[in-house]
Amino acid sequence: MVDAHPEPTPKPTDGHPPELRGPWLWAFQGCAIVLGLFALWAAGPGIPEQHFQLAVYTLLTWVLTLILRPERRGTPWSAPNMADWIVGATLAGCAAGAILRADIVGESGAGVLDWALWTIGAGAAAAASIRLRARNVALIAIAVLVFVYYETQFGELILRPGAWTNTDFWIATAAVLLAIEVARRGLGLWIPAIAIAALLYAHFGYLVPGALWHRGSTIEQIVNYLMYSQEGIFGVMTSVMANYVLVFIFFGTFMERSGMGRFFIELPLAIAGRTAGGPAKVSVLASAVFGSISGSTLANIVSTGAFTIPLMKRVGFKPHVAGAVENSASLGGQLLPPVMGSGAFVMSEITGVPYVQIMAIAIVPALIYMLSIGFIVHFEAKRSGIRGMESGEVELATTVLRRGWFHVGPFVVLLGFLIAGYSPDWCAVMAIASIVLINWMRVLLAWLSPSQFPRPGDVLGPRGIRDALIAGAENSLIVGSVAAAVGLIVGVVALTGLGLKMSHLIVSLASGNLLIAIVLVALASLLLGMALPITASYLVLIVLAGPALQEMGVALIAAHMIVFWLSQDSNITPPVCLGAYVSASIAGADPWKTGWTSFRFAKMLYVMPLLFAFTPILMTGTATATAWAMVTATMGMIAFSAWTMAWLHRRTTWPEWLLLGILALFCFMPATTELPGGLSGWELNIVGVLGLAAVYQWQRIRPRVRVRAGAT
């Protein structure tokens, strides 16, 4: 029997690896808590200046990454000894002195002090080359110097745009190098490699032949632009992380630490656990809830998959199928409002479309995707003869709701404030406050009447809040560590005009054909997805390809949604399919097989962008046309899912399978299409819908028809 109160899913660590200890542990925890409190203050009652908020966020993120991530992967963490401190402090001091005296040297030439700084600094750098821990000390100190200078000189910097001093240049150079190093520590070599390639392109663009040629920029122009403009280190990626995403990450950690996570697994289990393939449907429902808040496919897989994947295997799903279901369902959380993997915030920032409007536009396509996974799971369970869980193994939904109905409160608070028109970050703070308040009320009621009100297992007292802040800060490093480096890439695109050049190139290669252009964008997104996180991939690709789609007549919001959806494919499409590797590790399955099965289950990810381009499903037409597109897309999704699995009411025959594919195509056809023979798209839509109903009815009245093995 499944425990009515299943073991909690693995929680994030308390913000540090087990080796971190002593002053470094205190430093990490202190910086993490400061970052958390600052984020909540800035999103709530505080009104910090934008430059100050971005500087504090970036500095603390860099310091946390430099403390937490070893310089060489696989190297165990160890604290610096006295020699490391001496070498690191000497190197940082000499570097700081040299940078701050750069203007004096430029005007009057180098003096004895300058030569001494350079000589001692060179010796310290040579010593640090064999002392990894000394380099950590130096890098953290230089990062502090960069942002202290930026903040103390900000008023002067904005008064001399373009007239940068030597000290400005060396501060900017240090910031660019630190952004690349922090990204390398956070996610490996790919993003730094792309950033370095972008910097080389910005300088040597005059050597690039063809349409991508530009006259090139000096090193001074490049690094100063990337540091002191709003298009580089402090660009859209960093701004969205600091203003919106960070506080929602803390919302997710507070939700998990309060016990809400278990409730949102128990409730889907009670609702769908008894149906055919019940645990797989639980995975879809739980992943939709968790993913819509966490905004991370991988975090979603780890949180819900640790519980649902073993259950799926227990009722009969093959390991690679269980992993693929969890991976495909978790990806849907990135598409489902309110968070959408932070994509909604970036989209709103770039397009100027209100966040609530983007939520309204995105919800129906996301639900259609999640429904497609649900139907595929159902068909897979039916064709494999997998039943649901026994009645005695699953609680009643009413019992679960009666025990934990209050966990729905924070979602009501979040959506209520959003609908009322408050900013997303304020809404997240209010939701976090409601989580804490509900938790405290439960503790108080348990103290007043222990026989009637059980004490919550997870108490958000001072220690619980501290742990939630530390865990949230650590979770934010996954994307936060690369935000500035992605800003370098986007900044180079803006500086060189590469976005316009790439758009013209896409239009030229596509010869004006929108379908071919979308295929090219899909291929580009797959390549970028091998190196960049999803939100970063979307941001870079929309800058490069968005104008091309708009030039071909695609509405602004539709172009962004096309790119955003296609940017998700790296989690499910081999050879990368990182989500498949994570889910396969939990399922004990072959990652490659899990990846291809995920691709098979999640094919609606590639169909929906076509509907965004050719139909008004994103509310880009009249209300009637939009409603028609939504209905026909839903029916087409059912036909397409049945065609994918070769199962509707029963296993399909080959003629039925072919017919379902044709009917799915008819349902997806844009209603305004004019076809040869006088047929219109909406007439084909009707044929598709009625044909699907007819095939289903035919299978019902001929349930025992003898067939050969159906198509797969």
State pLDDT tens for residues 277-322: 788 888 888 877 776 666 567 667 776 777 788 888 888 888 999 8
Instruction: Please identify which residue in the block is written with the tokens 């016990």.
Output: 259
Tell me: cis bond preceding 338? Omega within 30 of 0 counts: yes
Pairwise CA distance, residues 321 & 143, whole Å: 46
Q: Which amino acid is at 644?
A: T
Position 28 in a domain: yes
Burial of 682 (0-12, 13-18, 19+ CB in 10 A): middle
Higher pLDDT, 430 or 245: 430
% pLDDT > 70, the chain: 91
Give the pLDDT of residue 1.
37
Position 214 in a domain: no
Provide the phi-psi class of 678: left if phi over 0, else alpha when psi is between -120 and 50, else beta: left
Position 415 in a domain: no
- Is the model's pLDDT at 531 over the cut of 60? no
Mean pLDDT of the chain: 84
pTM: 0.77
Q: Any idea of the CA torsion for 561, 566, 568, 570, to the nearest 10 degrees?
A: -160
Pairwise CA distance, residues 16 & 69, whole Å: 10
Give the pLDDT of residue 90.
92
Position 113 in a domain: yes
- Is the model's pLDDT at 24 over the cut of 70? yes
- Work out the pLDDT band at 369, boundaries 50, 70, 90: very high
Among residues 151, 186, 221, which one ends one of the domains?
186
Position 610 in a domain: no
- Work out the pLDDT band at 5, boundaries 50, 70, 90: very low
Among residues 126, 151, 186, which one ends one of the domains?
186
Query: Structurally, how many domains does the chain consist of?
Result: 2
Position 41 in a domain: yes
Position 175 in a domain: yes
Smallest CA-to-CA distance from 302 within 556, 27, 12 is with: 12
Lookup: tokens for 575: 């050879």
- Work out the pLDDT band at 647, boundaries 50, 70, 90: very high
Rounded to the nearest 10 degrees, the angle between the axes of helix 260-272 and helix 246-257 is: 70
What number is the average pLDDT over the span 621-647?
A: 94
Among residues 148, 163, 186, which one ends one of the domains?
186
- Work out the pLDDT band at 636, boundaries 50, 70, 90: very high
Higher pLDDT, 371 or 414: 371
**β-bridge partners, 674:** 680
Give the pLDDT of residue 4.
36
What number is the average pLDDT over the span 86-95?
A: 91
- Is the model's pLDDT at 402 over the cut of 90? no
For the chain, the residue count is 712
Backbone angles phi, psi at 263, to 5 degrees: -60, -40
**N-term to C-term CA, the chain:** 34
Position 655 in a domain: yes
Q: In this predicted structure, which of 163-177, 458-472, 668-682, 689-703 has the lowest mean pLDDT?
A: 668-682
Residue 217 is classified by DSSP as -
Give the pLDDT of residue 13.
41
Annotate 400-419 with DSSP letters as a single string: HHHHHGGGGHHHHHHHHHHH
- Residue range of the domain that includes 50: 22-186
